[in-house]
Copies of this chain bind each other. A is one copy, B any other.
């Protein structure tokens, strides 16, 4: 019988944090279960008690990261009233100082690579994309109500907007020597305004 009832939650948090640290620093491919044990301060057996396989663990870690990114997106968007401001509120994606962003990008790249060869991972990725798209869709709907935008297929447009954000983020991260924060922000603003231009009221 469990010594403390909240113990499980504490351990899960410990393990997911450790997994996040390990994967973002070494990469998913070279992160071992022992790495995660060590960082979490648990033994092999302790870790396995909560996640039977490496795959279980990785899946949970990826979901946890996506959850954090999603929460950040929702919070930042909620700070604005105007729908267009909400849609263009993603400057934080290109902030080197932000640990969620900079340390997290390698994890997203790892995950995309895994998704290319693993259907289960790909579905998780699709779900994440879909959540993001829904967030943007809601803002577009709001903009239509507010009279900022004309009628449109909000889902298709939201997919375009999120794809542009993500593409620029990838490029900004990989090509860090030649791609500045200002370049990224200019690019996304112009790109997204291009997407929205047929629908500006």
Contacts and interface: CB of A to CB of B under 8 A. Distances in A.
Interface of A: 26-30, 105-106, 109-110, 112-117, 122, 125-126, 129-130, 156, 159-160, 162-168, 170-175, 177-179, 183, 186-187, 190-195, 197-198
A191 B177 contact: no
A163 B93 CA distance: 15
Given A106-B116, A109-B109, A109-B112, 16 more contacts: A29-B114, A109-B116, A112-B170, A160-B187, A163-B167, A163-B170, A166-B167, A167-B167, A167-B168, A190-B194, A191-B191, A191-B195, A193-B194, A194-B195, A194-B197, A197-B197
Contacts of A166: 167, 170-171
A178 B130 CA distance: 9
A183 B172 CA distance: 24
Q: Counting chain B CB atoms within 10 Å of each CB, which of A30, A165, A171 scores highest?
A: A171
How many copies make up the complex? 2
Q: Interface majority SS on A: helix, strand, loop or mixed? A: helix
Contacts of A27: 113-114, 116-117
A190 B190 CA distance: 10
Given A164-B191, A166-B171, A178-B130, A26 B198 contact: no
Contacts of A175: 125-126, 129, 159
A92 to B, nearest CB: 18
A126 B173 CA distance: 11
